[in-house]
Amino acid sequence: MMVVGGLLLVAGVVVAVVFGGDAAGGWLLPVGLIAAGLGMLIAGAAAAVRRRVPLLAAVRAHRATPVGSPVRRARAVPGMLAATARGRNPVLPRYQLLLWLIAVVYMISPIDFIPDFLPLLGIGDDIGVGAWLLTSLYAESGNYLAAKQQREEE
């Protein structure tokens, strides 16, 4: 991913230097290539760091036994969010709610890291944020159901 991002970044700079604003579309092509390259470089760097640093939530999600069907997990999300906001969910830290809120605001806001008017690239960052949001909600709702089931058994 980082290699492709670097190639896009270099291509954008080359197009900007060689053609300037005289290329078809003016400055849109070089700026789009540079933005896409930077986005892929940042995403690749984040993925590389994430592979090397164990994240507590990811470790917790993978260690927990699967609890609940997808429908049951989806129904548990509002209760999980309310319990976490009130401080009654020991499994999930409160800052995770803030991260999820930032993700929702980013997806609905018109200001993006990669502008939406770039075909296929512009919506890519929103799709990535949405995919992260849904997968983390799914994993954490499973952890919430497992903790709730354990408390009921005790």
At residue 120, what is the residue type? L
What is the per-residue pLDDT across 93-137, written as a single tens digit (0 to 9) for each?
A: 888 999 999 999 988 887 777 776 776 677 777 888 889 999 999
Tally of residues, the chain: 154
Tell me which long-range contacts 72-75 makes (C-beta under 8 A, separation of at least 24): 72/145, 73/138, 73/141, 73/142, 73/145, 74/141
**Structure-token match 């640093």, residue found:** 53
What is the pLDDT at residue 21? Answer: 66
What is the per-residue pLDDT across 34-55, written as a single tens digit (0 to 9) for each?
A: 888 888 888 878 777 766 665 5
What is the per-residue pLDDT across 14-34, written as a single tens digit (0 to 9) for each?
A: 888 887 767 666 667 777 778
Domain ranges of the chain: 1-53, 55-154
What is the per-residue pLDDT across 79-103, written as a single tens digit (0 to 9) for each?
A: 999 999 998 887 888 889 999 999 9
At residue 123, what is the residue type? I
pLDDT score of 57 more than 90: no
pTM of the model as a whole? 0.56
